[in-house]
């Protein structure tokens, strides 16, 4: 029930930890969607986001994604340099890839 409801995720700057958390939750809520598709959507909605690689690696391991989450985040590269991010939105559900 709650997996389809909006969720606000924030931290002080909104660049690393919160974008990692948003990415992790999007992957968890969309197990049939390619990790790269979710990471690409994240980058398209936030050129500043720079998901924390350690958090993503821990989640990747816990969810049994065999390195695909961390590979996808590395593939989108570091975000633009900034002191803080602008709010962005990831959908609760993606279409299957």
Q: pLDDT truncated to tens, each residue of the chain (97 aa)?
A: 456 666 667 677 777 899 999 999 999 999 999 999 999 999 999 999 999 999 999 999 999 999 999 999 999 999 888 776 777 777 777 875 5
Considering the domain boundaries, does residue 2 fall inside one?
Answer: no
Residue 8 located in a structural domain: no
Query: Domain for residue 11, yes or no?
Result: no
Q: Which domain holds residue 37?
A: 19-84
Instruction: Give the integer Cα–Cα distance in Å for 80 and 61.
Output: 27
Number of structural domains (the chain) is: 1
- The verdict on residue 65 lying in a domain is yes
Does residue 70 contact residue 53 with C-beta atoms inside 8 Å? yes
Residue 64 inside a domain? The answer is yes
Answer whether residue 59 is part of any domain.
yes
Residue 61 lies in a domain: yes
User: CA 92 → CA 20, 29, 69, 83, 95, distances in Å?
Assistant: 15, 7, 17, 27, 10
């Amino acid at each position: 029930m709650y997996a389809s409801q909006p969720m606000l995720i924030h931290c002080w700057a909104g660049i690393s930890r919160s974008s990692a958390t948003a990415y992790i939750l999007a992957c968890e809520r969309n197990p049939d969607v390619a990790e790269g598709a979710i990471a690409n959507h994240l980058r398209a909605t936030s050129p500043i986001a720079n998901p924390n690689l350690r958090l993503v690696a821990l989640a990747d391991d816990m969810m049994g994604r065999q390195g695909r989450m961390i590979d996808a985040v590395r593939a989108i590269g570091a975000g633009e340099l900034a002191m803080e991010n602008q709010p962005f939105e990831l959908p609760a559900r993606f279409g299957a890839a």
